[in-house]
Amino acid sequence: MKDFDLRAAINAISDVTQNRPQPLREFDQIYMKVADMVLQADFIARRFDGLDVVFIGDGDSIALSAYHLKTSNVIDYGPNSILVLDFDERIVKSIIRFAEKYGFADKVSSQLYNVADPLPSDLMHTRDAFYTNPPWGASNDGESVIAFMERGIEAVKEKSIGMLVIADAPDIPWTQSVLLDSQRIANDHGFLVAEMLPEQHFYHLDDAPDLKSCSCLFRRITPKIWNTESRKLDQVRFENFYGNNNPLKVRYVREQLTLNYGRAEEHTYRLESWGGKNGD
């Protein structure tokens, strides 16, 4: 599968990871390990070649990774345009800053959005493909996965594809149950599983370091369900979003302004001079 310069690819992904904000564990921002990011970025660049793609959440920065591999001339394929929707303003702004810095802000953009809200009407059925690597739903029977998927489905055109990245471990029952439910939802909306790469990616996940995710590529055959209007997540799903009686409390993560983007925060260190006239 890999037919690119590995060093150039890893260095390009290094540009991206350097740009990411620190993950917030409470919102399941758990980052994919770098080697797997390289392979995943290449994979989606191939599958989304020439397409207009929407990412429903993207803490990993796979969107930037795929596009940056292309603009760094590591690969010669990739999406035509990318829109990343995320509820974390730190992620949104880091994507915008990166796209401006590397000169592709006309092709890669990002905006603040929480999946519990209706999808903005100007985004309904406008993209060729969606990608989501949502909270995996270990404690909520996949509720979070379904919510993210449904927003992706709302954002794509009739003839479209979508990629879902979620936990996949045959010996951990909840992962298989969530995977089954998500495929059922996709099928309800007229998608079939076009491709499935099982147990692909490792994460910086403290309590399950061996747990991997799969890439499941859906292709729509017929739009069995076609919403012309997006609705807010209903109250029951909202209340149980993070598990039984564990509701969504935070609408947005807001960025604190700093002059030190990508640099060490000043409150984490202090400088101590040599002191004395001769530095002794």
Partner 1 sequence: MAIELTKGMGLLFMKVGVHARENLEDIIKRKQQEYDKAGMIFWGYGGNTCHPSKHVQPFVREFKKQGKEVMLVMQEINSNHFAEPKAAEEYSEDGINWQVVPKGIEVLGSRYALVLDRLELEGFDIGLQDMSVAIGPSRGRIASDYIQGHVDKGCFEFDPGSPPLKQNDVKHISLYARLKEPYAVHLK
Q: Cα–Cα distance between 128 and 257 in angstroms, integer?
A: 35
207 binds partner 1 (CB under 8 A): yes
CA dihedral 131, 37, 199, 175 (to 10 degrees): -50
Among 50, 120, 209, 262, binds partner 1 (CB under 8 A): 209
**Nearest to partner 1 of 228, 245 (CB atom):** 245
- Using CB under 8 A as the binding rule, whether residue 229 contacts partner 1 is answered as no
Q: Cβ atoms within 10 A of the Cβ of 206, count?
A: 8
Q: Is 118 in the site for partner 1 (CB under 8 A)?
A: no
138 is a contact residue toward partner 1 (CB under 8 A): yes
Contact assessment for residue 163 and residue 44, using Cβ atoms and an 8 Å cutoff: yes
**Of the candidates 48, 113, 136, 191, which one interacts with partner 1 according to CB under 8 A?**
136
**Does residue 172 touch partner 1 according to CB under 8 A?**
yes
Closest CB to partner 1 among residues 180, 225: 180
Q: Which of 14, 30, 60, 38 is nearest to 204 (CA)?
A: 30
Nearer to partner 1, 105 or 172 (CB): 172
Applying CB under 8 A, which of residues 95, 108, 115, 167 lies at the interface with partner 1?
Answer: 167
Choice between 106 and 210, CB closer to partner 1: 210
By beta-carbon proximity to partner 1, the closer residue of 77 and 238 is 238
242 belongs to the binding site for partner 1 (CB under 8 A): yes
CB 158 within 8 A of CB 189: no
Q: Which stretch binds partner 1 (CB under 8 A): 7-15, 111-119, 222-230, 240-248?
A: 240-248
Size of the site for partner 1 (CB under 8 A): 22
Instruction: Give yes or no for residue 48 binding partner 1 (CB under 8 A).
Output: no
Q: Are 219 and 125 in contact (CB under 8 A)?
A: no
In what order do the strands lie in the sheet containing 108-112? Answer: 108-112, 81-86, 52-56, 127-132, 156-167, 213-220, 191-201
243 contacts partner 1 (rule: CB under 8 A): yes
CA 15, 21, 24, 29 dihedral sign is negative
244 Cα distance to chain centroid: 25
Q: Contacting partner 1 (CB under 8 A), which of 4, 77, 174, 238?
A: 174
Token couple for 223: 């739009």
CA 252 to chain centre: 16
User: Does residue 249 touch partner 1 according to CB under 8 A?
Assistant: yes
Per rule CB under 8 A, is residue 208 in the interface with partner 1? yes
Closest-CA residue to 122 (of 105, 109, 135, 104): 109
241: left (phi over 0), alpha (psi -120 to 50) or beta: alpha
User: How near is the Cβ of 139 to partner 1 at its closest, in Å?
Assistant: 6
Given its phi and psi angles, is residue 240 left (phi above 0), alpha (psi -120 to 50 degrees) or beta?
A: alpha
Pick the stretch among 10-18, 67-75, 113-121, 133-141 that binds partner 1 (CB under 8 A).
133-141
Kindly state whether residue 25 participates in binding partner 1, applying the rule CB under 8 A. Answer: yes
Q: Which residues bind partner 1 (CB under 8 A)?
A: 25-26, 136, 138-139, 167, 172-174, 205-209, 211, 242-246, 249-250
